[in-house]
Structure 1
Amino acid sequence: MDILILNKIAGHEDDINELKSALKKTKNTRLYKRYSVLLKHFDGFTNRKIAEMENLEEHTVSTYIKNYKSKGIDGLNIGHGGGAQKKINSLQEKLIVETITTKTPEDVGFESKMNWTIELVRQWVIKEFNINMSHRGIAYVLHRLNLSYTRPTYVLAKADKEKQEIFKSDFKALKKCLNGLVDTILFEDESMIRDYQAIQKSWFIRGQQRKIPTFGKNAGVKLMGILDYETGNVYCEEHERYDAKIFNDFLENVLKQYPKGKIVVVLDNAKIHHAKLIQPFLNRVKDRLELMFLPPYSPEMNLIEGLWGWLKASVINNVFYKSLPQVRTAIQKFISNINKVPTQTIDRLCVRL
């Protein structure tokens, strides 16, 4: 079993307080990540572990730490190099962001092109603004506008935006009740973790592919879990199936995990969550536990969904397990390790709502 031993760096309380304050105030995602890197450094994590946690290269982590030590917090305002005076004004910058985030290239005249690349952005800038810029210059502009080349995710087209906004408003009000009328907010979900889940990008020798052997089977571990919105703690159970009786038992175990105070559980609209069988239990514990349902077709608003993706990317994807017990062990180690440093779970999963 991997044991995480932290050698906390002493004598940097002022640095830590300054970084925490800056992290809370910034709206720049790149600076947020850099502050987070330094806080983990002062917590005693190695550069390699920080790189793994923050999805960065190890040399990048080293650069952030080196710049901070030489120049202080201003050293984290790392630009993308010098260059000529800005060719694009602020109104044009806003239009670039709006176009990239709300339209496809085909929408603005590039036939049969559905995904933005730097070259397509460059061509659009020439066409729209009559400004000729280099590939590197456009890349700099995109970075400065806080845009990045990322993998998209699916959302359900049936989602009701109005209901989603109502939920966000209700959840905002719920948060204000924390440590008052409400003591704990939990996000609940179920997930099947298969013995081999998916292939994802990984570093390997150029021109070659990593080979992942499989048995061609489709077995998996069924998990039912909760994510504590305030503390970042994760609690999961494994079950052979999902039904109302098991969900009822799971909620009873949640009350055992939180023996005091009022709990609100945020969850989706699966049939077992509305089953008649669980209603007597909910009526009996209504002073202690309440269910708050997400809008239909809104999995991205269930924060624990991010946990399943994190788990799979960390210990399941690109890995071959010969047996389900090995999968179970990997899952248990992952949950145990993230619960040792719940702040990283909060930073990763609990800041979206």
Structure 2
Amino acid sequence: MKNQEIIAQIEERMKRTKDRRMYERLQTIRFRMMGIPISQISLMLCLSEKTLRKYIHAYEEKGLEGLVMKVSPGKSSRLTLEQRDELKQVIMNQVPADVGFTAKFNWTLKIIAEYIERCYGFSYSLRGVSKLMERMNMSFTRPTYTLDAADPEKQKEFVEVVFPALKKG
């Protein structure tokens, strides 16, 4: 196959991909097939020459399929297995108020991040906490509210008695 045919094939693939990283890989090969030096491609794509050489080598070894990205494992968890188990038990068996969060009855990613920092000394982003929850086989859902179906007497009791007591405590 001639370079022009390969370039056309790559361009067609570039149009179909929705993955930004795959697009960069295809673009690297396209530019290289056009005779553009790696140093110039590096400047155009804002990627290191080392990364570009990896892409080119993968293409030379396996063709376009060599550019398909393997699943990136990501950064390993900072919490040990024991700490993750302990965290999971806390989340499953206690409410945030039980571990020192004022008037909190639902675990949120933000509260979990604060708890991890407080107890284990590690700072996690909300996305990091979400990924940690996935790795611990826990799902995160936002609470839904159905106040229309709530008992008006219980609501009144909560507003007048329970909630003020929680705020004081």
TM class by smaller structure: 0.3 to 0.5
- TM-score (norm. length: structure 2): 0.47
Higher relative strand content: 1
- TM-score (norm. length: structure 1): 0.24
- Kindly indicate whether structure 1 or structure 2 has the higher relative contact order, using CA contacts under 8 Å at least 6 residues apart: 1
Higher relative helix content: 2
Q: Rg larger in 1 or in 2?
A: 2
